[in-house]
Amino acid sequence: MNDLKKSVQFMKGIGPKRAKYLEKIGIISIEDVLYAFPREYEDRSKMKNIIDVKNDEQITIKGYVCGNVEEKSIRKGLKIYKVPVKDRTAMTYAVFYNSPFIKKVLKKGERIYLHGKVKRGFGQIQILHPNYEVIEGKEETMINGIVPIYSLTHGLIQKDIQNLSNHVLELYEKTIEEYLPYDTIKRNRLCHIQYALHNIHYPSSVKSLKIAKFRLVFEELLILQTGLWLIKNKFNHNKEGVVFNKTPKVNELIHSLPFQLTNAQSKVLKEIEENMESKKVMNRLVQGDVGSGKTIIALIALYKAYLNGYQGVLMAPTEILAEQHLYAAKELLEPLGVKVELLSGSIKKKKKEEILRSLENGEIHIVIGTHALIQESVYFHKLGLVITDEQHRFGVRQRRTLSSKGVNPDVLVMTATPIPRTLALILYGDLDVSIIDELPPGRKKIKTYCVDEKKRSKIYNFAKREIELGRQVYIVAPLVEESENIEAKSAQELYEELKVTYLKDFTIGLLHGKMKGYEKDEIMNQFKEGKIQALVSTTVIEVGVNVPNASIMIIENSERFGLAQLHQLRGRVGRGEYQSYCVLVNYGKNPLSKERMKIMEETNNGFIIAEKDLELRGPGEFFGTRQHGLPELKIANLFKHMKILKQVQNEAKVLMNEDKTLALEKNLMLKNRIMDQFDKSIEQISL
Ligand code: ADP
Ligand code: MG
């Protein structure tokens, strides 16, 4: 076995207990140590005297703990620990939150380094949550120059990982083989992997750190990009597809609509029509914020397919949504002679068989449905256009299965989750992207407020008044990641609470993912008809649901949701003529959650929100990459490294134009690396 793949326990000083701690930060093998990059560096050549430090400055000081740690309870759940530290010139406090172990580590008399941000005020100098290092005798020599600072977990201190990475480099550095193709290295002026790994941990200068970083960022993005393209066979779909003809009937339909298409809608429709009229198979992603009017675009495209004698299919992730599309399609297209049907899991066997038969013999022109559409038993007579709505819920494989039911049908993917430009570039490198960046006129901006729990009664009183005015209210229960069962329970509890408190005078409904399809539909229909005035729900209402009379959305524990998700939820209101409100009830204490909620207050633009979400939480959180099987980005940042990403994409194109499956000898090491990094469940990656 390659030595680098061995357990980190083979390293001197690492026993089972340490190994367990290390595992918590993702270090299992010796190689993992090399790829556990420092989260930051301290330049200790620039040490300061305490007396000279300025407010808000990042500094390193050297001193000793001159007293006992003071422990204070600020409020429930928040304790601070103040460590008094002195040097020759003055005194400062190192301040930590909820870190009881600090009392054991920073004992009176210890000599230490502190590195962090300075707060001056009230006659004190404080350094908030600093990095610290206890100076032990002669080890002080290591301190000079640029020192790596690693992410820690309970049970580990900086020294542990610093020593470990140092040892691993000493022992194994020379055995690390280069895995990027020689040409790639040359074309992009990358440093060798040995140099990169050495200097990312122990840079000999600021410049060598930069060189090392560039290489590692480049490599990480290259692996992600080539990997994705490998999976998706990017270079495989210049297939010939259906050619749909222009017909005046499409324009007649557009003119008969009760509204005028927005400029953005017209532009996107034109892009779609051009694709449909060309010989090449269409692969287009339509991104448009909630309410931007994607459905009508899909229906027009389906109509065009019908006019050309082809069948079309529209797949949605939930029954509720599929039914909503069905109504819209029937209303618009049936008077024009188009036969539209629904195919979903809850349809009775007999009826289903009938539908399957008419699909196969071509009597049904357009079928709308859920996952039920991709079952083996579904055959089409002549499928020409495949549309999936809210695609991020479907995997590549599902999309492909659906397409394979026709002969190279055109494919349209619609999403209301605005995907940041950078991510779209990576993920949809193979799709053309259309953006509907304009809402239909006359929409009122949804007013968004973030409040803490103390304002809860005020909020619900406000909701009561709106209901009395005839409006309806959504209340979203806290998101529970671990289990749909617990989530259903939390919605249930909230429902029980509201029924006997704030909303006791109104009809109130409950909707969650554990309910049967028909139960959900019934509740949703009652809400649509106004029979239910307040609807308590989990995120099942996230996608697409349209009830114009609903004017308030209250989201409990909003800090648990992703911003993009909050934005989706918020899009359920503001669909009618009424001024609408979104209230985020935030129980989160940390500044980051406040900052995130503030973004929601400030903008209604889904693209800005998505970018911010990506920036604040990283792409992993954003896409749930791990659950999608994508490799984790350890050093690359899709925000900061946009320029490098472009360079990477050029390189990936060059590589794969020559060798589209990376099967050539010279590319094999890279390919192995890709296989290694991507999860086994790669086939199901949802893109
Ligand atoms: P989404 O993009 O979120 O799927 P929908 O397609 O559900 O949005 O459209 C939201 C609402 O806006 C629907 O009631 C639809 O009929 C209406 N709508 C769509 N386009 C226009 C337009 N150009 N002018 C006015 N209303 C429109
Ligand atoms: Mg929609």
Q: Express the helix, strand and coil content of the chain in percent, nearest 5 each.
A: 45, 20, 35
Q: How many residues does the structure list for the chain?
A: 687
pLDDT, one tens digit per residue, over 256-314 is 999 999 999 999 999 999 999 999 888 888 988 878 899 999 999 999 999 999 999 99
Evaluate: CB of 576 within 6 angstroms of ligand 1. Answer: no
- Which atom of ligand 1 has the smallest separation from the CA of 436? 2
Evaluate: CB of 416 within 6 angstroms of ligand 1. Answer: yes
With 0-12 / 13-18 / 19 or more C-beta atoms within 10 angstroms meaning exposed / middle / buried, residue 257 is exposed
> Ligand 1 center to residue 473 CA distance, Å?
21
The beta strands (E) that lie in 108-197 are given as: 111-121, 124-134, 146-149
Q: Whose CA is nearest to atom 5 of ligand 1?
A: 293
Class of domain 248-278+293-415 as given by CATH: alpha beta
- Give the span between the Cα atoms of 578 and 107, in whole angstroms: 62
DSSP conformational letter for 673: H
Evaluate: CB of 324 within 6 angstroms of ligand 1. Answer: no
Low-confidence ranges of the chain (pLDDT < 50): 141-143, 234-236, 624-628, 681, 683-687
pLDDT, one tens digit per residue, over 599-639 is 999 988 887 887 787 777 665 555 544 444 567 788 887 76
Class of domain 40-149 as given by CATH: mainly beta
- Give the span between the Cα atoms of 212 and 256, in whole angstroms: 61
pLDDT value of position 199:
95
Helix (H) or strand (E) holding 674: helix 668-677
- Which atom of ligand 1 has the smallest separation from the CA of 324? 7
> Ligand 2 center to residue 547 CA distance, Å?
13
Strand bridging mode 91-97 / 78-86: antiparallel
Residue 441: both structure tokens together: 């006129």
pLDDT value of position 639:
67
Helix (H) or strand (E) holding 96: strand 91-97
This prediction has a pTM of 0.63
pLDDT value of position 421:
63
Residue of 546, 570, 572, 577 to test ligand 1 pocket, by largest number of atoms within 8 Å of CB: 546
Evaluate: CB of 645 within 6 angstroms of ligand 1. Answer: no
Evaluate: CB of 262 within 6 angstroms of ligand 1. Answer: yes
Multiple choice CATH, 447-603, 3.40.640.10, 3.40.50.300, 2.30.38.10, 1.10.579.10: 3.40.50.300
Residue of 259, 413, 567 to test ligand 1 pocket, by largest number of atoms within 8 Å of CB: 259
Query: In Å, how far from its chain's centre is CA 496?
Result: 32
Q: What is the 3-state secondary structure (H, E, C) of 456-474?
A: HHHHHHHHHHHHHCCCEEE
pLDDT value of position 138:
52
- Give the span between the Cα atoms of 282 and 237, in whole angstroms: 10
CATH 3.40.50.300 intervals, the chain? 248-278+293-415, 447-603
> Ligand 1 center to residue 438 CA distance, Å?
11
Q: What b/e string do you get for 440-475 counting C-beta neighbours within 10 Å, with b at 16 or more? A: eeeeeebebebbeeeeeeebbebbbebbeeebbbbb
Is residue 324 within 8 Å of residue 524, measured between CB atoms? no
> Ligand 1 center to residue 684 CA distance, Å?
31
Which of 143, 204, 145, 135 lies closest to 169 in space, CA to CA?
204
CATH 2.40.50.140 intervals, the chain? 40-149
> Ligand 1 center to residue 260 CA distance, Å?
11
- Give the span between the Cα atoms of 171 and 164, in whole angstroms: 11
- Which atom of ligand 1 has the smallest separation from the CA of 260? 23
Residue of 292, 325, 528, 575 to test ligand 1 pocket, by largest number of atoms within 8 Å of CB: 292
Evaluate: CB of 292 within 6 angstroms of ligand 1. Answer: yes
The DSSP line for 387-454 is EEESGGGS-HHHHHHHHTTSSS-EEEEEESSPPPHHHHHHHTTTSEEEEE--PPTTPPPPEEEEEEGG
Evaluate: CB of 415 within 6 angstroms of ligand 1. Answer: no
From residue 631, give the alpha-carbon distance in Å to each of 38, 675, 678: 19, 10, 5
Q: What is the 3-state secondary structure (H, E, C) of 528-540?
A: HCCCCCEEEECHH
pLDDT, one tens digit per residue, over 304-322 is 999 999 999 999 988 888 9
